[in-house]
Amino acid sequence: MTRGAFYRFAAPSIIVMILLMVIPLLMAIWLGMNYMTYTNISAPQFIALRNYIEVLQDARFWQSFRFTALYAAIVVPAQLIVGFTIALFLDQVSRFTRGIYLSIFLLPFIIVPVVGTLMFKQLFEPSGLITWLYQTILDTRFRYNEITVKALIIIHGVWYVTPFALVTYFAGLQTLSQDLLEAASMDGATRWQKIRHIVLPHVRSLTIFILLISIMDAYRIFDSVFILSQMNPIYKANTIMTYTFQTAVTVQRLGKANAMAILTVIGIMIVLIPNLIQSYKEQMEER
Amino acid sequence: MEKIKSPLGRVLIHAVLILFAVYSFIPFFWTTLQSFKTLKDANSRTPIFFFTPTWENYQQLWLRSVPENGALIAYFLLAAVVILICLLLFANYIPVRSSLIYAFVALGFAAILWGIPRLVDTAKFYDYFINTIIVTVGTVIVSISIGCLAGYSLARYAGYAGVVILIAALGFRALPRLAFILPYYWIGTATNLLDTHILVILTLVAVNQPFTIWMLRSFFMDIPRELEESAMVDGCNRLTAFYRIIIPIMWPGIISTALFTLLLAYNEFLLVRLLTQTNWTLPVAISRFTGGEDPRHLTLAAAASISATIPIVLVILFFQKNLVKGLAAGAVKG
For chain B, the domains span 67-120, 124-333
Quick check: is A26 in a domain?
A: no
Whether residue A65 lies within 8 A of chain B, CB to CB, comes out as no
Going A244 to A246 to A247 to A253, the CA torsion angle's sign is positive
CA B14, chain centre distance (Å) = 32
Instruction: Report chain B's mean pLDDT, rounded to a whole number.
Output: 87
CB contact (8 A) between residue A89 and residue B324: no
Residue B283 exposure: Cα atoms within 13 Å on the Cβ side: 28
Output A178 or A200, whichever has higher pLDDT: A200
**Which pLDDT band holds residue B328 (cuts at 50, 70, 90)?**
low
Instruction: List the single residue in B with minimal CA-CA distance to A256.
Output: B182
First to last CA, chain B: 24
Cα Rg of chain B, angstroms? 24
CB contact (8 A) between residue A114 and residue B267: yes
Degrees to nearest 5, angle at CA B14 with B9 and B18: 150
**Which pLDDT band holds residue B334 (cuts at 50, 70, 90)?**
very low
pLDDT(B332) > 60: no
What's the pLDDT at A40?
76
Cα–Cα distance measured from residue B125 to residue B304, given in angstroms and rounded to the nearest whole number: 9
Quick check: is A12 in a domain?
A: no
Contacts of B55 by beta carbon, 8 Å cutoff, 6+ apart: B36
Contacts of A130 by beta carbon, 8 Å cutoff, 6+ apart: A123, A124
For B290, the closest of A9, A21, A118 (CB atoms) is: A118
What's the pLDDT at B29?
94
Strand partners, B122: B63
3-state secondary structure of A45: strand
pLDDT(B333) > 60: no
Residues in chain B closer than 8 A to A17 (CB atoms): 169, 172, 206, 209-210
What mean pLDDT comes out for the span B225-244?
82
**Which pLDDT band holds residue B193 (cuts at 50, 70, 90)?**
confident
What's the pLDDT at A185?
85
Helical spans, DSSP H, in chain B: 7-35, 39-42, 56-62, 70-89, 98-119, 124-156, 160-174, 178-191, 197-221, 226-233, 238-241, 247-267, 270-275, 282-287, 297-318, 320-333
Quick check: is A275 in a domain?
A: yes
Quick check: is A93 in a domain?
A: yes
pLDDT(A189) > 60: yes
CATH no. of B124-333: 1.10.3720.10
What's the pLDDT at B191?
76
What's the pLDDT at B283?
93
Residues in chain A closer than 8 A to B16 (CB atoms): 86, 89
CATH code at position A181: 1.10.3720.10
**Which pLDDT band holds residue B36 (cuts at 50, 70, 90)?**
very high
Quick check: is A98 in a domain?
A: yes
What's the pLDDT at B237?
82
CA distance A190 to chain B (A): 12
What mean pLDDT comes out for the span B68-84?
87
Residue B165 to residues B152, B257, B260, Cα–Cα distance (Å): 13, 19, 21
Q: Is there a contact between B124 and B282 (Cβ–Cβ < 8 Å)?
A: no
Cα–Cα distance measured from residue B255 to residue A84, given in angstroms and rounded to the nearest whole number: 28
What mean pLDDT comes out for the span B195-201?
90
CA distance A280 to chain B (A): 6
Q: Is there a contact between B92 and B98 (Cβ–Cβ < 8 Å)?
A: yes
B303-315 pLDDT per residue, tens: 999 999 999 888 8
3-state secondary structure of A97: helix
What's the pLDDT at A158?
96
| Best to test chain B binding among A118, A228, A232, A282 (most B CBs inside 10 Å) | A118
Which domain range does residue A129 map to? 58-286
User: Which of A128-132, B24-28, B44-48, B55-59 has the least mean pLDDT?
Assistant: B44-48
pLDDT(A41) > 80: no
Cα–Cα distance measured from residue B144 to residue B141, given in angstroms and rounded to the nearest whole number: 5
Residue A184 to residues A191, A229, B1, Cα–Cα distance (Å): 10, 51, 11
pLDDT(B34) > 60: yes
Helical spans, DSSP H, in B222-296: 226-233, 238-241, 247-267, 270-275, 282-287
What's the pLDDT at B292?
61
pLDDT(A56) > 90: yes
Instruction: List the single residue in B with minimal CA-CA distance to A222.
Output: B270
Instruction: Report chain A's mean pLDDT, rounded to a whole number.
Output: 90
**Which pLDDT band holds residue B188 (cuts at 50, 70, 90)?**
confident
Cα–Cα distance measured from residue A25 to residue B103, given in angstroms and rounded to the nearest whole number: 39
Q: How many domains are contained in chain A?
A: 1
Cα–Cα distance measured from residue A268 to residue B177, given in angstroms and rounded to the nearest whole number: 12
A86-114 pLDDT per residue, tens: 999 999 988 888 888 988 998 898 889 99
Pick the closest to residue B326 from B269, B267, B238, B252 (CA basis): B252
